[in-house]
C-alpha cells in the first residue's frame, strides 16, 4: 500500500507555545470549553462556517488552526459523519513536515477512532508508530498520549498499541528524551487501564517499574503514581 495522499499545507516554522510537548498542550486540545462547543454547534448547522474550519486547519494559521481543530474534534464526538469525506486531508496532515499540522492530525484522527467502522484507524496505526520514533519529542509525546485514546475506543487494537508504547526507541534521540516519551506512554495506559486483562496489566506494571530509574524526573513521578494506583 502506497503512501496516502498528502494535504496541501503550509510548513510550520515556529512553535505555537513554549514547550509544546508539555501536557498542558494536551489538556488545551482535549478540553471542550463552551466557546468551542458553541462553534461546533454552529458549524454543524452552517456549511460555510464548517468549511472555514476545514480551511483554517489546512492553512495552518497559527491559533486559528488549533481553534479549528478543537471545533472539528467536538464535531467528531457529536456528528462524525460530517468529517469522513475529509479523511484524506486529515491523513495527509499526519504525513506533513511541520509539527503543528501533525499535532492537529494526531488529535483529530484519534478523536474519530470511536466512530470508525471501516478500518481507517487500523490502516493509519503504523503511521502513529512512526511518529513515536520521530526526532521531535513533541510529536512523539502527543502520538503516544493519543494512542491511549485510540486504544480505549478500539479494543481490537489494544495489544498492538501496548506493544508500540512499550517499545519506543527513538534512535536519534537522547535517552532522557525517550524517557520523557515513556511518561506519556504511562499517561496513555491510564486511558484504557480499566479495560486491560490482568496479563496485559502485569506487563505494563513491569514497564512502570523500569521507569522509576529512568532519566526523566517527570516520568519517574508518573511511574510512582501509576504503580501506586495499579501496582498492588
- Per residue in 28-69, pLDDT (tens digit) is 888 899 999 999 999 999 999 999 999 999 987 778 999 999
Give the per-residue pLDDT at 4: 39
Q: What is the pLDDT of residues 172-201, one digit of tens each?
A: 788 899 999 999 999 999 999 999 999 999
Give the per-residue pLDDT at 106: 97
Residue 229 in this model has a pLDDT that exceeds 70: yes
Ramachandran region, residue 211 (left: φ > 0; alpha: ψ -120 to 50; beta: rest):
alpha
Q: What is the pLDDT of residues 104-147, one digit of tens each?
A: 999 999 999 999 999 999 999 999 999 999 989 999 999 999 99
Q: Three-class SS of residue 67?
A: helix
- Kindly report the number of other CB atoms within 10 A of residue 201's CB atom: 17
The long-range contacts involving 190-197, CB below 8 angstroms and separated by at least 24 positions, are: 190/148, 190/226, 191/148, 191/149, 191/151, 191/152, 192/148, 192/151, 192/152, 192/158, 193/230, 195/152, 195/155, 195/158, 196/158
DSSP state of 80: G
Give the per-residue pLDDT at 127: 97
Contact 47, 79 (CB under 8 A): no
Amino acid at each position: 500500500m502506497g503512501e496516502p495522499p498528502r494535504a496541501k499545507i503550509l510548513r510550520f516554522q515556529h512553535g505555537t507555545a513554549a514547550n509544546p510537548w508539555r501536557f498542558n498542550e494536551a489538556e488545551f486540545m482535549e478540553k471542550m470549553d463552551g466557546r468551542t462547543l458553541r462553534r461546533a454547534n454552529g458549524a454543524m448547522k452552517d456549511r460555510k462556517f464548517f468549511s472555514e474550519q476545514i480551511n483554517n486547519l489546512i492553512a495552518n494559521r497559527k491559533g486559528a488552526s488549533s481553534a479549528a481543530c478543537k471545533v472539528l474534534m467536538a464535531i467528531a464526538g457529536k456528528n462524525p459523519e460530517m468529517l469522513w469525506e475529509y479523511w484524506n486531508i486529515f491523513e495527509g496532515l499526519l504525513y506533513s513536515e511541520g509539527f503543528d499540522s501533525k499535532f492537529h492530525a494526531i488529535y483529530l484522527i484519534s478523536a474519530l477512532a470511536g466512530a470508525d467502522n471501516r478500518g481507517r484507524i487500523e490502516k493509519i496505526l503504523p503511521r502513529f508508530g512512526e511518529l513515536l520514533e520521530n526526532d521531535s519529542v513533541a510529536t512523539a509525546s502527543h502520538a503516544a498520549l493519543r494512542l491511549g485514546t485510540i486504544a480505549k475506543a478500539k479494543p481490537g487494537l489494544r495489544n498492538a498499541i501496548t506493544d508500540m508504547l512499550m517499545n519506543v526507541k527513538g534512535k536519534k534521540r537522547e535517552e532522557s528524551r525517550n524517557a520523557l516519551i515513556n511518561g506519556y506512554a504511562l499517561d496513555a495506559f491510564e486511558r484504557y487501564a480499566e479495560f486491560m486483562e490482568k496479563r496485559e496489566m502485569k506487563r505494563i506494571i513491569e514497564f512502570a517499574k523500569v521507569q522509576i530509574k529512568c532519566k526523566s524526573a517527570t516520568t519517574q513521578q508518573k511511574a510512582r503514581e501509576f504503580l501506586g494506583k495499579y501496582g498492588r
